Chains A and B, each alone.
Chain A
Amino acid sequence: AQTVTQSQPEMSVQEAETVTLSCTYDTSESDYYLFWYKQPPSRQMILVIRQEAYKQQNATENRFSVNFQKAAKSFSLKISDSQLGDAAMYFCAYKEGNSGGSNYKLTFGKGTLLTVNP
């Protein structure tokens, strides 16, 4: 079974600084997708960024970028120029590719609580 591990329960960053959240995963599949979701307090979960495993290029969305190391099964999220609104719980998630038997199911890590200090 696939597992997703986020080893940092909590992280903090100063406003305008850069922070990196870690995620590792375990799978025997070669075709899969990885996601970072943001869950602000008492608000819905929002997709931040996604990465297809077959793509070597790291995904980027404005201030958010990933460092995808397929061989190491590592998928970290870098937030640049941190803003107060970035404060939230961040979840790393895995999904099998289209050929997988459970290709509809997201497997989440336990999350990292990010605090942004003014």
Chain B
Amino acid sequence: DTGVSQNPRHKITKRGQNVTFRCDPISEHNRLYWYRQTLGQGPEFLTYFQNEAQLEKSRLLSDRFSAERPKGSFSTLEIQRTEQGDSAMYLCASSARQGAGGYTFGSGTRLTVV
């Protein structure tokens, strides 16, 4: 297992276009998380899946954002009608259990909206 994989690594898109990112978690991990990190800030929580169920969505996740995790394996994060304010690093992480276990993060997808 090579860890948490995110694709693409970089995405440049024009304002108003739709984009989709993919995250492949560690195969044994049933919990998956999306975070957003803007320049000079720490990551901010976006959403959380346990298996295929999306258990929480942050208020940061407007109705232009949608995340799915079909079959409890990989996850996609789609942003519709992108805006310049969506430019950020989108991080995916996974974990096997609650408690003291930390997350394993992917390398992120850097989105630039021009």
Contacts and interface: CB of A to CB of B under 8 A. Distances in A.
Contact of B100 (A33, A37, A106): A33
B42 A50 contact: no
**Interface size range on B against A:** 20 to 34
Interface stretch (B21-29, B43-51, B60-68, B71-79): B43-51
A84 interface: no
A43 B89 CA distance: 12
A104 B31 contact: yes
B102 A47 contact: yes
Among A44, A97, A105, the one with the most B-chain Cβ atoms within 10 Å of its Cβ is A44
Given A44-B105, A45-B91, A108 B98 contact: no
A53 B56 CA distance: 25
Contacts of B33: 104-106
B18 to A, nearest CB: 26
Nearest to B50: A104
Interface of B: 3-4, 31, 33, 35, 40-45, 48, 50, 55-56, 91, 95, 98-100, 102-103, 105-108
